[in-house]
Chain A
Amino acid sequence: MDFPNFKQCSDSPSFADEELGIKAAFKSGAAKIGMVADDRWLVFGSLRLDAEGLAEVGSSVASEVLIILTYWETRSVHLGRLTKAAPSARRQRTVGGGDDSGGGFRLMDAYFNLDLKATCSVDPHPGHYWVVFQLGKFVSQVLEFEVVAPPA
């Protein structure tokens, strides 16, 4: 599988019925994991938005996901986005559709899978990292991982 991609897979976090927002996890749903510097640093994510949430973030949802990666050893912060398309014009907030009387957009479910190293342009130094995903007012749980040097 190439990364990043936007397919639902067995490692994609799931949402309960009334849940909205963004979730992220390592393989098999883990929130804490060990990684090797040379390997890909894979994260699996899901998001669910209703009409109100979509009006907040805009229709180009993928480019709105902000990834914040912290390297504890030096307190450095790396940022990334799922997609890096250059905006051509100032964005306008989407006028949300649908009212309580029914009709209209209800929910969007989407998935993303990425390699943190590539997406955040990180030099893979051994040490302790945290990562969190933000989409509008929603934020995922904080994921933790320890990177070790590759075996000699």
Chain B
Amino acid sequence: MPNIKEVGSEKGTFDSGFFAAYALKLMRESGGDFENLEMGQAEVYAARDAFLKNSTRTDFLEETDAAEFLLQLDVCDYYGEWTEQIRTPEILSERIGNCLAREGACGMMLLVMDDSNHWVSILTREENKILVYDPERAGGEPNAEWVETLTFATNVLKEKNGVSALIVPKKGSAQSTTLAGASNGIGIEIVSPTKNRNQYVNLDADEAHPEHGRVVRITAKVAPPKADKKVHWSIVDEDKNCPYRADLTAENQAHFAGDSAKKSDTSQTNAAGEASIDFSTSICGGDKFTVCASLDKTQSGDKTGELTVWRRLWYEVDTMKKRNSEEAFDLSAHRDVPALFKDMFLDWVYEEKQEHPDNIWNIKDGHCDEFADKYFDANKAPFQAHVLAVDHQATLTIEAETLWDADANPYVADLSFPYYIYDGGKSWVSKIEYNLWSAATGDDWRPLPLDRISLTGPDQKGLRALKIDFTGIANPTPANTIEVRTWPRMAEESGAFWLLGTPHIFVCMGHVQEIILKADLKKCVTGIIAHELAHVVAMVSTGSGGWTNPSYVKTEGGPHCRDPTCLMFEFRDQQVVFCGDCKRALRMTDIRKKTGNLLHTKRSA
């Protein structure tokens, strides 16, 4: 049996307590249909007066069974006390909690006064609702101080105590001021995701990793739990979050429930009061999304944590040993590569394990794939690329006949060539002849022993020059030159390349070290690796959706950027940044559709 004395026995305080208790009783008797409550202050006071003639407050409470609606007048007893003592969220929340914790207490009354009227807010614990009961408002807009104070109180109740606010208008009157969080008396909060996070939209969905995949399952819960409540889902400030939204195709934009046309949606709560929705972020790197769950069509409910669209791929590094050495080529420059992609919200993660294949001086055409496959672990296929440092990858091209005028001994040719030296020995030249011409005999071509020829260099371009030792054979001078014919085999060297349609990137460090100054080498190699990794994800694209990339150019080497300062320019020249157009292109690229290049037989796709 509630202790009815706690509501006070003095007549002077009876008005508020009686009023509140009786109001609540009547509300309960209305079947809990608070929105259709019909009651006015005059009516309540008349009832009160009728009892007061012949009974005490206590008698009233007993006779009307209003005692079961014991109200704790705890927060505000007197004018002015509210603003001076109670007006902090912590204190108010504590008082509310204390009230509701009292045995037998079914609610509390929050009395907010202005200088002309009593405005009563009633919180019922059972329904976990707070009612702002406005039995008889004078009309016009509510008193500003009342609105401000009650807004503050209801916000505290919502944030600290999980209670939503309800405005119960006088029947027939206009809806009064909506307070923050106002709804139909039921609160709603997001269950997951609640924290900000990166959403890696290119990865396969994984229950253990909700941050993987484009589709995010969002769950909200109503309090108190109630089935079949309609939850409204919407995107908060989408236009502000999505710089390229207008250019994305409909399918690539954010939407609900797998339907690209749905920018908002609804779902029903289950018996546990939970409702869920599948939300697809956009595919554009850097886009941010917050989803609101609300019990009405306004965004007055609770919001998820901010989801930022990212993409994640892995890369593995293997470095071949140098010729005649156990030391491997140094590809540590790769560690500077991931930072270059952050602006494009692409996370390249390094797979730490590294292998060191024995040296092969030159990996011939047609053997690159087979060689790379041997060392590719593919642990994260089909999301893993392979960066492989090798010595040389040169193609045997022309076997030219060259004619020289040797004018000194030893003679060093004045022009250098990319001789195909990779078979070892002198196989880069099939034969060499010199002409001991004389007026008497005319042309007299003779073979020159191959041990008389060698190559100098390589020079800064990786080229070598022919050197001939004529000692004991002839004595060429500028005045008396000797004709020399050679049949050399030429090579076409590669510096670095992505093996089309595979995860493999080759960095031919043996050649790169020949042509790049040591001081510039690390920066150049960083740029090379970043350039080739970008090709793996189909850069440079022609654009996407409604945007055409003005910097795209198709060169003989494939799709590149026109801007010579950009990393995606065709030729390496110490570039270490992507231009704005390339950044946009990569942000707008649907990388899920580009991982075909990373498919590998070592891991089933």
Residues on A lying within 8 angstroms of B by beta carbon are: 6-7, 51, 54, 59-63, 79, 81-90, 92, 94, 96-98, 101-112
The answer to whether A103 and B408 touch (CB under 8 A), given A88-B495, A88-B511, A89-B571, is yes
Q: List 21 A-B contacts (CB under 8 A).
A: A60-B397, A61-B397, A61-B490, A79-B556, A86-B494, A86-B495, A86-B497, A88-B494, A88-B511, A88-B528, A89-B516, A94-B416, A97-B413, A98-B405, A102-B481, A103-B405, A104-B404, A104-B405, A104-B414, A105-B403, A108-B402
The A-contacting residues of B in range 410-447, CB under 8 angstroms, are: 413-418
Q: Given the complex, which residues of B lie within 8 Å of A89, measured CB to CB?
A: 495, 515-516, 571-573
Additional pairs, 15, CB under 8 Å, beyond known A85-B492, A101-B478: A6-B398, A6-B399, A60-B418, A60-B492, A61-B398, A84-B556, A85-B493, A86-B495, A88-B493, A97-B415, A98-B415, A105-B415, A106-B404, A110-B400, A111-B398
Q: Given the complex, which residues of A lie within 8 Å of B389, measured CB to CB?
A: none
Residues on B lying within 8 angstroms of A by beta carbon are: 395, 397-408, 413-418, 461, 463, 478-479, 481, 483, 490, 492-497, 508, 511-512, 515-516, 528, 556-557, 570-573
Evaluate contact between B492 and A62: CB separation under 8 angstroms. yes
Evaluate contact between B496 and A110: CB separation under 8 angstroms. no
Q: Which of A59, A82, A84, A109 contacts B417 (CB 8 A)?
A: A59
CA distance A133 to B11 in the complex (A): 113
CA distance A63 to B483 in the complex (A): 28
Evaluate contact between A110 and B415: CB separation under 8 angstroms. no
Q: Given the complex, which residues of B lie within 8 Å of A108, measured CB to CB?
A: 400-403
The smallest C-beta distance from A33 to any residue of chain B, in angstroms, reads 24
CA distance A107 to B487 in the complex (A): 12
The smallest C-beta distance from A53 to any residue of chain B, in angstroms, reads 11
Q: Given the complex, which residues of B lie within 8 Å of A85, measured CB to CB?
A: 395, 492-494
The smallest C-beta distance from B364 to any residue of chain A, in angstroms, reads 13
Closest to B483 in A: A106
CA distance A51 to B415 in the complex (A): 8
Closest to B491 in A: A60
CA distance A82 to B490 in the complex (A): 13
The smallest C-beta distance from A45 to any residue of chain B, in angstroms, reads 11
The smallest C-beta distance from A7 to any residue of chain B, in angstroms, reads 7
Closest to B508 in A: A88
Closest to B506 in A: A86
The answer to whether A87 and B570 touch (CB under 8 A), given A92-B461, A110-B399, is yes
Evaluate contact between B405 and A106: CB separation under 8 angstroms. yes
The smallest C-beta distance from A107 to any residue of chain B, in angstroms, reads 4
Evaluate contact between B494 and A103: CB separation under 8 angstroms. no
